[in-house]
Amino acid sequence: MHALSIPTWIIHLLSVFEWTAAIWLVWIYADVSQNRIWKGFAMAMLPALASAICVCTWHFFDNNPSLAWLGIVQATMTLIGNCTLMIAAWLLWQRSLTVE
């Protein structure tokens, strides 16, 4: 746990909390608005949360070389998350064109 300074740990942990809160709020908005596409958007955010958890886990164990594979998982989850969010945003945009 000594691999990162306290301010860096705070930023990493807040990132995990931020993604969790954002997913939860988007899910609630989907229920309130009764627009199921927003639930898909919330699901599309999950790989980004997994990415944040991977990097926090690796740092928690002082960047242990035996856990270097977590870096690959983190990068993969970031790529997948960016793609799923792009698709979800496109679907929201398409839905907004048909509603108006």
pLDDT tens string 9-23 = 999 999 999 999 999
Residue 45 located in a structural domain: yes
Q: In whole angstroms, what is the distance from residue 87 CA to residue 66 CA?
A: 34
Token pair belonging to 13: 């942990």
Residue 49 located in a structural domain: yes
Nearest to 54 by CA among 15, 85, 2: 15
Domain count for the chain: 1
pTM: predicted TM-score of the whole model, two decimal places? 0.87
Residues 30, 42 contacting (CB under 8 angstroms): yes
In terms of residue numbers, what domain contains 68? Answer: 6-99
| Identity of residue 72 | I
Render pLDDT for 33-88 as a digit per residue (tens, 0 to 9).
999 999 999 999 999 999 999 999 999 999 999 999 999 999 999 999 999 999 99
Residue 63 located in a structural domain: yes
CA torsion, ordered 34, 35, 37, 40, to nearest 10 deg: -20
Residue 31 located in a structural domain: yes
Residue 1 located in a structural domain: no
pLDDT value at 26 more than 90: yes
